[in-house]
Amino acid sequence: EAGVTQFPSHSVIEKGQTVTLRCDPISGHDNLYWYRRVMGKEIKFLLHFVKESKQDESGMPNNRFLAERTGGTYSTLKVQPAELEDSGVYFCASSPWTANTEAFFGQGTRLTVV
């Protein structure tokens, strides 16, 4: 069974540019989460999809971040325009219908804004 896949694995962009990160969850997993780890800090929750609906987006830092989940399958996280403080590792995780089970993580996308 394929795991959670994210791409790109690395992205280096200039301040002011746009970047779109993609996450393909495990097939059949209704829950999809985005997390971010900024250097030296904890992994912070960004948002949670249940199927195609945003269940909770309270962790999104500001309106430069836009997440979508087309048809309840893969998800994208767009940062526009990117700022230096957006640099970090963005993790995606998925889990079956209830959150009270193991969440499977992708390998993460390392975003560097220069």
Pairing between β-strand 109-113 and β-strand 88-95 as defined by DSSP bridges? antiparallel
Nearer to other proteins, 74 or 105 (CB): 105
Closest separation between CB of residue 88 and other proteins, Å?
Answer: 13
Q: What is the CA radius of gyration of the chain?
A: 13
Q: Least Å distance between CB 68 and other proteins?
A: 19
Quick one: DSSP state of residue 30? -
- Which chain residues interact with other proteins by CB under 8 A? 31, 33, 35, 41-45, 48, 55-56, 91, 93, 98-108
Tokens linked to 3 = 């795991």
Cβ proximity to other proteins: between 17 and 52 the closer is 52
- In this complex, which beta carbon is closest to other proteins, that of residue 63 or of residue 98? 98
Query: Whole-angstrom Cα distance, residue 35 to residue 55?
Result: 14
Q: DSSP state, 93?
A: E
Nearer to other proteins by C-beta: 41 or 63?
41
Find out whether 6 and 109 touch, Cβ atoms under 8 Å.
yes
End-to-end Cα distance, the chain: 37
